Amino acid sequence: MTANHVDNQTDPVPPVPHASGGPALGGHADWPANRGRRFFTAQDADPHALDGERIAVIGYGHLGRPFALNLRDSLSPRASVLTVGNVPDEYAGQARVDGFTVLSIGQAVASADVVLILLPDEVIPEVFVADIAPSLSPGAAIVFASGYNLAYGLIAPVPEIDVLLLAPRMAGENARQRFLHSEGFFAYVSVEQDASGKAWRRLLGLAGAVGILQAGAIELDARREADLDLFIEQTMGALVGLSIMTAFTVGVDAGIPPEAMVMEMYMSQEMEMVFRSFREEGFYRASSVHGPTALYGGFVRTMQFLPLDLGGLFRQVLAEIQTGQFARQFQAERKAGYPMLRQAEALSSGDPASQPIGRAETSVRTMLKSS
């Protein structure tokens, strides 16, 4: 059997055990540089792939906890041993409350064959050098949930270990909830280094056990995963946020009630439905269901905004990501004690009542509760 896959003469992809057949991903002629992208589902994973493997989840945080809980629910305790490695803090306390054996990071790595490194991306380089690399056994596998450190050369794994990417497209708590509802969640996966000869087997076994293959996994290497993730966060993500803040300020200044502004933009759920219809009906086709006024207005305003040359700005952002400039900047931010990140956190975790937009949201929630 072969996985769903796009043929590529020049860039062969290693064979995958237990791979299923089915339609190719990216089958369009204009899909650029099809590099053997494959789409994996539950039937591609051997349910016994992790039998006899000792697994360590390093970092019991936003993603570490859901992954550890999902793995424990999926794997037979007789076949696989699961431990958590964490610094002594409240996350370690939570892992003990959840019933896991918690070791220091070095001890957990030394006692494992498969090591999931679920620490904040910018923290990984120093912990990798100090606690992870010295404790890894030859033939072990290290698994990352983001391509960041591999893509921008921030760590240098030795050739004797497997290096795997299992990068979910879902926030941690949702990954747990979707697993519990048997819905799964999508992820990008790749084998970056296969020292053991069983890297794919391990990777797909893990992807199945954490719940990814209930939805599906797309093959994408760490470099592209990291570029893509940062690019969308820093372009589309940034502009959605800026649009919401700008529209709120301009609308309220012009006399539109703040509650109506947040209701219009997201509290009514209309916008969620718009994104849902992008997924279900297609990006362009979905626009037509909002009627001629919305379609005409959106079209002429898009034309009006075109000279802003967003494409040029986006290309500049992508170039800064691809050259590693952003990663260097973020590592310097960490070294300096996170001055910019602290400002962003203050905005996102501050008292909602201190911001007009937060007050409007609270007011709408109160209104909805009392109705």
| Residues at the site binding ligand NDP, with contacts judged by CB under 6 A | 59-64, 86-87, 89, 91, 118-121, 123, 127, 145-146, 168, 171-172
Question: What SS3 class is residue 358?
Answer: helix
End-to-end CA distance of the chain: 57
Count CB-CB contacts under 10 A for residue 46. Answer: 14
Nearer to ligand NDP, 16 or 119 (CB): 119
| C-alpha torsion sign, points 348, 352, 353, 356 | positive
User: Nearest CA to 111 among 74, 86, 72, 137?
Assistant: 137
Nearer to ligand NDP among residue 59 and residue 205 (C-beta): 59
Q: If we measure between CA atoms, which residue out of 23, 10, 3, 352 comes closest to residue 203?
A: 3
Determine the residue with CB nearest ligand NDP: 61
Comparing CB distances to ligand NDP, the nearer of 76 and 174 is 174
Cβ closest to ligand NDP, residue 63 vs residue 75: 63
| Shortest Cβ 193–ligand NDP spacing (Å) | 18
Strand order in the sheet with 81-85: 4-5, 38-40, 216-219, 186-193, 162-168, 141-144, 114-117, 54-58, 81-85, 102-103
Nearer to ligand NDP, 105 or 140 (CB): 105
Residues in the chain: 371
- Amino acid making up residue 249: T
CB of 165 to ligand NDP, least distance (A): 10
CB of 175 to ligand NDP, least distance (A): 7
DSSP letter, residue 338: -
Quote the least distance from Cβ 222 to ligand NDP, whole Å.
11
Cβ proximity to ligand NDP, 187 vs 263, nearer residue: 187
Closest separation between CB of residue 362 and ligand NDP, Å?
25
Tell me how far, at minimum, the Cβ of 77 lies from ligand NDP, in Å. Answer: 23
Interior/surface letters 3-35, b for 16+ CB within 10 angstroms, e for the rest: bbbbeeeeeebeebebbbebebbbeeeeeeebe
Closer residue to ligand NDP in complex, CB, 128/248: 128
Nearest C-alpha neighbor of 42 from the set 215, 282, 246: 215
Q: Where are the alpha helices (DSSP H) in 152-269?
A: 172-180, 199-210, 212-215, 222-232, 238-253, 258-262
Residue 369 phi, psi (nearest 5): -65, -40
Q: Please report how close the Cβ of residue 335 comes to ligand NDP at its closest, in angstroms.
A: 12
In this complex, which beta carbon is closest to ligand NDP, that of residue 91 or of residue 278? 91
Residue 25: CB minimum distance to ligand NDP, A: 21
Q: Could you tell me the two tokens for 9? A: 């003469």
